[in-house]
Amino acid sequence: MMPRAQLEALQLKLLKIQTRRLWECSPFYHEKMRAAGVRPDDIHTLQDVRKLPFMTKKDLRDGYPNKLMMCDRGDLIRYHASSGTTGKPTIVGYTRNDLENWSESLARAMTSFGLGKKDIIQVANTYGLFSGGLGFHYATEKIGATVIPASTGNTDRQLDMICDLGVTAMAATPSYLMYLGEVAEKKGIDIRKDTKLRFGLLGGEPWSDRMRDRIYETMGVRGFNCFGASELSGPLFMECAEQNGIHFWGDLALLEIIDPDTGEVLGPGQKGEMVITMLQKEAFPIMRYRMGDITSMMEEPCPCGRAHPRITRIQGRVDDMIIIRGINVFPSQVEHSLMQHPELGNEFQLIVDRKGHLDTLLVRAELKPEAFTDNIIELNALRERISNRLKNILNISANVELVQPGTLPRFEGKAKRVTDRREY
Amino acid sequence: MSDKGKYKIKQLSIFSENRPNRLGAVAKVLKDGKINILGFSIAEGAGYGVIRVLVDKPETARDLLTKEGFVVKFTEVLAIQMEDRPGGLFDLTDQMKDINIEYGYGYRNPPFAVLIVRVEDIDSGIDKLLAGGLKLLDNVNFH
């Protein structure tokens, strides 16, 4: 395994190459660097990454659809899309090398806790524009294991395959795995005795060690925490067999933790906002991107021997983003969607809850007096239209509740639109 | 045509969100305003309801309810008099078969009974009901 000093030397080399590419090939990054008064020649040490300007979700939004894309059309071989902060999604492009590094990253993680050729891995993450499903799919193929591209839903069939095909690992959100365990129990299936399922590749939503313990106690499945984001490619990094912190492969990503208020870079053990520079991405590079996730870097070397930096569990967000059933949801998206309906007022409220193991989203909006009609069919149709539009923008279904004007809370300062009643 | 106006009764339609004791809140406003309820129904929507009320002073009731934050609309309905005996409703239905009824509710008002209906086209509805020989109550009976 590569010692830390050697890893850092490699990182510096890659950072220099990437910075030069950004400067030379992308008008967007060139202008951003020029405005910050930094040139590729200013990068002499790894610490010099701090001279580069930050990127935020706003850059991604303003760059829609492909202002941030940086490769020849001929080299671009894939698009994925994730929810943006308003109506428009973030479009992420991939070259062949990007797909290769993406699968390499996750494959390395899966190998690090013991998955290999003989495993059968059921991917119960969404396949499609969302990068979760295909990310695990490629990584599974890369390690030579058998992949079952189950995607989401149809829990009965998922269980049948786990039982009948001898599935050993499952990629899913932790809440879905727990739900599956419950369904199994109701059907009289003991996951421990009746199946070979032993590994859970879990992420996409906040969870806790308590949940991990419960999954192990009830199903005998060891849950491994995964981190990723569509902007970075998809699911990328995971815990090793130690199950103590997620390894960030240093040859692929340069990780910093900053004080979200001042932008000052923090040391190991200090809690702050995660900032990522992707060192080898080609089509959709990421330079000092503020993830919005709160975590800290772990100081002591991992007993597994890998020198790659580790982070603790994500401990929160700096913005108001919430994750529902593995999908990122911004209150600004909900606002954008609701404002398309002239029948609704300006106030709204999001209530997130967990029924059993499944997340629910309730959106409450005020009906304008002039939009009220005695005709129930028309009112129900309005609610249906609101709900359909939300689903199109958020990619998850929301229960819509129309309320009397003036009844939702008003805010003088920063609006608190979200009530999250889930416990992890 | 203007005499049709006397058959049109002003019903209050009140939006009711899904919160405990919304009905109590409506009833309290009407009580405090000394408004008498003559007919009443609750319709269930998807996650909300519509309370429909006939009252003796509709304008006053609307103003008071609006002041308390309720969303209120007037809806014109018709009141058909029925015999208060078995078959009373059946006797009306033959004359009503060509009318598109959106909703209805009834109450007993001895010695008669009353069927309140909201019809799609109120003017042609009045014509058809009267032509069928049915008795429509004049709105002075209510307001």
- Indicate where chain B has its CATH 3.30.2130.10 domain(s): 7-75, 77-141
B47 with A401: Cβ contact below 8 A: yes
- Among B43, B33, B34, CA closest to B65: B33
A375 with B18: Cβ contact below 8 A: no
Separation CA A212–CA A223 (nearest Å): 6
B47 with A399: Cβ contact below 8 A: yes
A379 neighbourhood in chain B, CB within 8 Å: 45-46, 48, 50
Token readout for A222 is 């060891």
Interhelix angle for B122-131 vs B88-96, to 10°? 120
Separation CA A313–CA A80 (nearest Å): 26
In a domain, A21, yes or no: no
Give ipTM to 2 decimals: 0.89
A374 with B13: Cβ contact below 8 A: yes
A379 with B50: Cβ contact below 8 A: yes
Q: What is the separation of C-alpha A369 from the centre of its chain, rounded to a whole number of angstroms?
A: 40
Within this chain, do residues A114 and A249 fall inside the same structural domain, yes or no? yes
B13 with A369: Cβ contact below 8 A: no
State how far the alpha carbon of A44 is from the alpha carbons of A50, A308, B63, in Å.
Answer: 11, 21, 75
Residue A72 amino acid letter: D
- Among B59, B23, B15, CA closest to A404: B15
Within this chain, do residues A264 and A215 fall inside the same structural domain, yes or no? yes
> Å from A406 to nearest chain B CA?
7
Within this chain, do residues A97 and A219 fall inside the same structural domain, yes or no? yes
Within this chain, do residues A334 and A312 fall inside the same structural domain, yes or no? no
Within this chain, do residues A164 and A270 fall inside the same structural domain, yes or no? yes
What CATH number does the domain located at B7-75 have?
3.30.2130.10
Within this chain, do residues A262 and A283 fall inside the same structural domain, yes or no? yes
| Chain A residues with a Cβ under 8 Å from any Cβ in chain B | 367, 369, 372-376, 379-380, 383-384, 399-407
Token readout for A292 is 């919005």
- The torsion angles phi and psi of A292, rounded to 5 degrees, stand at 85, -10
- Among A348, A369, A401, A343, CA closest to B45: A401
DSSP state of B136: B
pTM of the model: 0.80
**Are A49 and A33 contacting, i.e. CB atoms less than 8 angstroms apart?**
no
Range of the domain at A356: 327-420
Q: What is the pLDDT of residue B19?
A: 86
B65 neighbourhood in chain A, CB within 8 Å: none
Within this chain, do residues A159 and A202 fall inside the same structural domain, yes or no? yes
Interchain CB contact of B48 with A (< 8 Å): yes
A375 neighbourhood in chain B, CB within 8 Å: 102
Within this chain, do residues A285 and A260 fall inside the same structural domain, yes or no? yes
Within this chain, do residues A142 and A248 fall inside the same structural domain, yes or no? yes
Q: What is the pLDDT of residue A164?
A: 97
Mean of the pLDDT values across residues B70-88?
95
Within this chain, do residues A108 and A247 fall inside the same structural domain, yes or no? yes
Percent of chain B as helix, strand, coil, to the nearest 5: 35, 40, 25
Q: How confident is the model at residue B95 (pLDDT cuts 50, 70, 90)?
A: confident
CATH (domain of A283)? 3.40.50.12780
In a domain, A79, yes or no: no
Q: How confident is the model at residue B3 (pLDDT cuts 50, 70, 90)?
A: confident
Q: What does the buried/exposed string (b/e) look like for B35-45 if buried means 16 or more CB atoms within 10 Å of the residue's CB?
A: beebbbbebeb
Interchain CB contact of B7 with A (< 8 Å): no
B69 with A373: Cβ contact below 8 A: no
**Are B95 and B133 contacting, i.e. CB atoms less than 8 angstroms apart?**
yes
- Among B45, B56, B55, B38, CA closest to B18: B45
- The torsion angles phi and psi of B2, rounded to 5 degrees, stand at -65, -25
Does position B2 have pLDDT exceeding 70, yes or no?
no
> Facing residues of B105 across strands?
B116
> Å from A296 to nearest chain B CA?
43
Separation CA A143–CA A146 (nearest Å): 9
* Minimal Cβ distance to A374: which of B18, B19, B75: B75
Domain boundary, last residue among A290, A319, A348: A319
A401 with B48: Cβ contact below 8 A: yes
Which of A360, A404, A407, A408 best probes binding to B when mutated, by most B CB atoms within 10 angstroms?
A: A404
CATH (domain of A396)? 3.30.300.30
Within this chain, do residues A209 and A340 fall inside the same structural domain, yes or no? no
A384 neighbourhood in chain B, CB within 8 Å: 46
* Minimal Cβ distance to B46: which of A375, A383, A404: A383
**Are A379 and B102 contacting, i.e. CB atoms less than 8 angstroms apart?**
no
B71 with A372: Cβ contact below 8 A: yes
In a domain, A238, yes or no: yes
Q: What is the pLDDT of residue A413?
A: 67
Interhelix angle for A331-338 vs A376-394, to 10°? 140
Which of A360, A362, A364, A374 best probes binding to B when mutated, by most B CB atoms within 10 angstroms?
A: A374
What CATH number does the domain located at B77-141 have?
3.30.2130.10
Q: What is the largest CA-CA distance in chain B?
A: 45
In a domain, A84, yes or no: no
In a domain, A273, yes or no: yes
In a domain, A345, yes or no: yes
* Minimal Cβ distance to B73: which of A374, A384, A406: A374
Number of domains in chain A: 2
A409 neighbourhood in chain B, CB within 8 Å: none
* Minimal Cβ distance to A402: which of B13, B17, B118: B17
Does position B131 have pLDDT exceeding 70, yes or no?
yes
Write the CB contacts of A1 (distance below 8 Å, at least 6 apart in sequence): A305, A306, A307
- Among A412, A385, A419, A415, CA closest to A400: A385
Write the CB contacts of B16 (distance below 8 Å, at least 6 apart in sequence): A404, B22, B23, B26, B42, B48, B49, B50, B51
Within this chain, do residues A274 and A147 fall inside the same structural domain, yes or no? yes
In a domain, A299, yes or no: yes
pLDDT tens track, chain A, 424 positions: 678 999 999 999 999 999 999 999 999 999 999 999 999 999 999 999 999 999 999 999 999 999 999 988 899 999 999 877 777 889 999 999 999 999 999 999 999 999 999 999 999 999 999 999 999 999 999 999 999 999 998 999 999 999 999 999 999 999 899 999 999 999 999 999 999 999 999 998 888 898 899 999 999 999 999 999 999 999 999 999 999 999 999 999 999 999 999 999 999 999 999 999 999 999 999 999 999 999 999 989 999 999 999 999 998 899 889 999 888 898 989 988 999 999 999 889 999 999 888 899 999 999 999 999 999 999 999 999 999 999 998 989 999 999 999 889 888 767 789 999 998 7
B69 with A405: Cβ contact below 8 A: yes
Q: What is the pLDDT of residue A357?
A: 81
Domain boundary, last residue among A262, A293, A319: A319
